[in-house]
Amino acid sequence: MSRLRCLVAGLCLAGCSGATLPAPAVVSVTPAERPASSSGPVTVTIDAVLPTLADHGLSTVTVDDNLTLKIGPRPFGPSHWADAGVITDFLPSVLPDGNYDVTVELGDGRLTTATSAFRVTTGEWPTGYIIDMIANQRSGVPFGVTLRAQGGQDGGYDGTVYLSVPGATVDPLISGPFLAGVRVEVITVTVDHPGQYHLDVSDLGGRTGRSLNFQISQ
């Protein structure tokens, strides 16, 4: 019996060698709250021990820095650990009002969820959008467009809009932030067939805008 106990103790000692790495932790989300109609940078601070293997014989240390960070359903930040876990990224106005979980997953599968760590309040949306006239363009060649939000919050709209060109593909699909209600966005439209096209913009509140037709050639 005592021999068995010694064996169990020995196995436990061997098994206890090493440590199961702790789950990552979301230390803070800044800002923790934002109107649905606003966009801007959000900083998520993460505390984690990255999967690490130190080989003293080779004098090397290997670190798996893969990272998946989400605010609600939306991927956020880079796909690799950076800046000592202080992750800052631009969050467009694409989340309806509500509470959102912030989820962190490391390369070895360790995952943590900060429940309702980010809150989106009701936004104050523009009444509509005007797009300045667009000159004739070539497919696949970037060009600038000026978007103007009409009405809305004091100081002008500072959210983002979805971009689309019916019958063509456009990049990006979401604009950058408006500044005092105006956004100059560089977009690339790719078409299969030359012709007349127009640019549509819309926001989460359902307001839209449409440009005049412009010629896109190959």
> Does residue 109 touch another protein according to CB under 8 A?
no
Burial class (CB in 10 A: 0-12, 13-18, 19+), 34: buried
**Using CB under 8 A as the criterion, what x/- string covers residues 12-31 for binding another protein?**
-xx-xxxx-x----------
| In contact, 102 and 114? CB cutoff 8 Å | yes
Candidate residues 50, 130, 168, 174; the one interacting with another protein per rule CB under 8 A: 50
CB under 8 A: which stretch of 62-70, 89-97, 157-165, 204-212 binds another protein? 62-70
Distance CA 180, CA 174 (A): 18
> Does residue 53 touch another protein according to CB under 8 A?
yes
Least distance CB 90 / another protein (angstroms): 21
Place of tokens 């998520």: 44
> Does residue 60 touch another protein according to CB under 8 A?
yes
Distance CA 129, CA 55 (A): 59
> Does residue 97 touch another protein according to CB under 8 A?
no
Question: What are residue 98's DSSP bridge partners?
Answer: 120
Span 137-156, contacts to another protein by CB under 8 A: none
Whole-number Cα distances in Å, 183 to 116, 131, 177, 218? 31, 10, 7, 27
Can you give the binding site for another protein, defined by CB under 8 A? 13-14, 16-19, 21, 47-50, 52-63, 65, 81-82, 84-85
